[in-house]
Copies of this chain bind each other. A is one copy, B any other.
Amino acid sequence: MEQKHVPPDLPPMKDLTTENITENVHIINSKCEDPRLRFLLERLVTHLHDFARETRLSIKEWEAAIKFLVEVGQISTDVRHEFVLLSDVLGLSLLVDAIDNPKLPNATEGTVLGPFHTSDAHHVSSGNQISRDPDGEPLFALCSVKDTQGRPIQGVSIDVWETDSKGFYDVQYSDREEPDGRAILESDENGVFFFKAIVPVPYPIPHDGPVGQLLERLKRHPYRPSHMHFMFKKEGYDRLITAFYLRGDPYESSDAVFGVKQSLIIDLHRVGDYPGLAEKYGVSLETKLLKQDFVLVTAEEAAKVREEDAWKEVKRQGGNLTVVNGLIVPAE
């Protein structure tokens, strides 16, 4: 820490005004040896300062913002992710997801992870029930995972998570003893996985905290349309975080976290619509059926598109930038 006592060899920074403060913050940050972090800070400080200048932000408003951010941090726990929620309701999560998971032809689109994924779901074999809620409407899911050439992918790890019939995830119950409404499955040699669950219901994001208060001041409802989350992982493939949404949900076009995509809206069928299914899987004819194929892209395909997209942005900005490991950094 001793070296910190030596002031850096930089031009003097005094008499900072609303006009020259930004350039001076860039100068003092310019000693950072990580080019990506330097670029992120340069853009962050520029936007933060432009925001304050364009709005002529008052000290009172700044104080309110600081208080709000402290509250968002303090209500956060291992199972309550209020900053993720804040990012979600501002559309940032969807945007970052769309940037990092570029849409590829024929592949399943991604969407927001949301704040309710956990790392402790049980690994179960296909056919198991993932929800213990007796009040949920039974759903049978018969799904497959393929590559963009239509070939089944075996051995994909599939995280599935959904709320109970009251619209709450297991982690929202303080007496949660073990994971429920979630499981990790694996695709078989035909790329197939199947499980019993319940029909998803719309639910509000947690809105008893600062983010909920913000939504209220913005006259926004906190609801997400009915959906079920999926995460697909296999070495060599790009991780896919997605969900499907039930067509006709009242919140289909006003999702509080902007996660709905046309290609992810689906219709549920009945098991009885497909001859032989009920017997083969031991479910009743009346059971709602989710029949869904998911298409993964390889890690290589995704990296190539990310790299191309980064170069497009570098060209658009026309500045002194380059791309290293798929990330935009200053050219030096």
Q: Which residues of A contact B (CB under 8 A)?
A: 4-8, 10-18, 21-22, 24-25, 28-29, 31-34, 37, 39-41, 43-45, 47-59, 61-62, 66, 69-74, 76, 81, 83-84, 87, 90-101, 204, 217-223, 250-255, 258, 260-263, 265, 306, 309-310, 313, 317, 327-328
Contacts and interface: CB of A to CB of B under 8 A. Distances in A.
A96 B49 CA distance: 9
Nearest to A253: B12
A56 B18 CA distance: 28
B219 A53 contact: no
A215 B167 CA distance: 42
The 6 closest A-B pairs by CB, nearest first: A73-B73, A12-B253, A25-B91, A31-B219, A47-B47, A4-B221
A241 to B, nearest CB: 9
B258 A25 contact: yes
Contacts of A98: 16-18, 21
A59 B34 CA distance: 18
B310 A56 contact: yes
Nearest to A45: B90
Nearest to A33: B219
A261 B14 contact: yes
A70 B45 contact: no
Given A73-B76, A253-B14, A91 B24 contact: yes
Contacts of A66: 81, 83-84, 87
A19 to B, nearest CB: 9
A119 to B, nearest CB: 13
Contact of A7 (B8, B39, B49, B251): B251
B52 A258 contact: no
B218 A32 contact: yes
Given A16-B258, A34-B217, A73-B72, A44 B40 contact: no
Nearest to A29: B218
Given A29-B220, A55-B40, A70-B83, A45 B91 contact: yes
A81 B74 CA distance: 13
Contacts of A24: 91, 258
Contact of A56 (B6, B29, B44, B327): B327
B253 A221 contact: no
5 contacts: A7-B221, A17-B98, A28-B218, A49-B95, A58-B99
Given A21-B94, A73-B70, A220 B28 contact: yes
Given A217-B32, A251-B7, A94 B41 contact: no
A258 B17 CA distance: 10
A32 B28 CA distance: 39
Contact of A13 (B84, B95, B253): B253
A223 B220 CA distance: 43
B313 A95 contact: no
A305 to B, nearest CB: 12
Contacts of A5: 221, 223
Nearest to A71: B73
Nearest to A3: B221
Contacts of A253: 7, 10-14
